[in-house]
Amino acid sequence: MGLVAVCSRRASRSSSACFIVTMLLSLAYMPCEAYLSSTFYDKMCPSALNTIRTSIRTAVSRERRMAASLIRLHFHDCFVQGCDASILLDEAASATSERNALQNLRSARGYEVIEAAKSQVESICPRVVSCADILAVAARDASVAVGGPTWTVKLGRRDSTSASLSQAETDLPRFADGLEKIISLFDNKGLSARDMVALSGSHTIGQAQCVTFRDRIYNNASDIDAGFASTRKRRCPTNDGNGNLAPLDLVTPNSFDNNYFKNLIQRKALLESDQVLFSGGSTDSIVSEYSKSPATFNSDFASAMVKMGDIELLTGSSGVIRKLCSAVN
């Protein structure tokens, strides 16, 4: 006999009780909401965060550029299947490894840094801390290591057992994307245009390959400073040097600051996808605001990183804790 029939028969005597039972059964079939907490590992692995921090500081002290690479790695992870460490799975672990996506191939870096941090955490707390959480914490610690903002990282993510090359190629921005395309990609992940501009500010550090900005510096368009283009041509010839590097921020390439936005206003963005943020469109005012207020930029960047870290989470039994970040094990 169904619940509705029972409730109908006894409505006069126990309508309130039936209502409670009905609500409880309804709740039982509702999906559980993902729950993260900054104190998730406090009892299970109290030294986890300090261990990760030390490992990341060591890596960044060896190579300053690594800070930008780790922030980008976390971003490229979260935009494909959510923040689940799927980007860390190599070709041996997944035939559809995201490492081979056009937006990652020969440009995504830092895999070995995350693996080293994971190894150190595993030595003290085996199979407790996920690769997804290590990557999220590493992005924060990398920012701090080069003078950028800090934020509270919520923890409790689980790792995926699969990757998606096709989703990486459709959901990750490309260096020649226009403004509306970029806004749409971020909106699909629950991030606003303001979040997008703030997160793009991470290009205040790091470098890009010649192949990603060659068209921009040679097209003689009105949206690029002629002197800036001439300087960049020295290490980016028309038909050679695809892998030659140039700093995304020519002024302070190794410091996390707001010079990136000042560069946009001066038409000195290295990538087309950066310059479109200040090109007479809807995000011009945000760029202007950040160029004048580093405090506002830092605050918004931190908030956007927290928000990005909540994309499509795996928690509890929905995922696993990998022993090696590059493999399903």
The one catalytic residue in 65, 72, 74, 76 is: 76
Residue 326, φ and ψ in degrees, nearest 5: -90, -5
Question: Is 122 marked as a binding-site residue?
Answer: no
Domain edge (last residue) among 171, 203, 225 = 171
User: Which candidate, 112, 148, 97, 102, places its Cα nearest to that of 256?
Assistant: 148
User: Is 184 in the same domain as 288?
Assistant: yes
User: Is 152 in the same domain as 183?
Assistant: no
Separation between Cα atoms, residue 313 and residue 156, nearest integer Å: 9
Question: Is 80 marked as a binding-site residue?
Answer: yes
Using DSSP's 3-state secondary structure scheme, residue 319 falls into coil
Question: Is 257 marked as a binding-site residue?
Answer: yes
CATH classification of the domain holding 260: 1.10.420.10
How many folded domains does the chain comprise? Answer: 2
Question: Is 86 marked as a binding-site residue?
Answer: yes
Question: Is 98 marked as a binding-site residue?
Answer: yes
Q: Which residue range forms the structural domain that includes residue 279?
A: 179-305
Residue 320, φ and ψ in degrees, nearest 5: -130, 175
Answer yes or no: is 16 within a domain.
no
Question: Is 74 marked as a binding-site residue?
Answer: no
User: Is 83 in the same domain as 131?
Assistant: yes
User: Is 158 in the same domain as 184?
Assistant: no
Separation between Cα atoms, residue 315 and residue 77, nearest integer Å: 16
Domain edge (last residue) among 171, 192, 221 = 171
- DSSP 8-state symbol, 209: E
User: Is 118 in the same domain as 153?
Assistant: yes
List the chain pLDDT tens, one digit each, 329 residues: 333 333 333 333 444 443 433 333 333 333 334 579 999 999 999 999 999 999 999 999 999 999 999 999 999 999 999 999 999 999 888 889 999 999 999 999 999 999 999 999 999 999 999 999 999 999 999 999 999 999 999 999 999 999 999 999 999 999 999 999 999 999 999 999 999 999 999 999 999 999 999 999 999 899 999 999 999 999 999 999 999 999 999 999 999 999 999 999 999 999 999 999 999 999 999 999 999 999 999 999 999 999 999 999 999 999 999 999 999 98
User: Is 114 in the same domain as 216?
Assistant: no
Using DSSP's 3-state secondary structure scheme, residue 102 falls into coil
- Is there a catalytic annotation at residue 74? no
Answer yes or no: is 205 within a domain.
yes
Answer yes or no: is 17 within a domain.
no
Answer yes or no: is 30 within a domain.
no
Question: Is 96 marked as a binding-site residue?
Answer: no
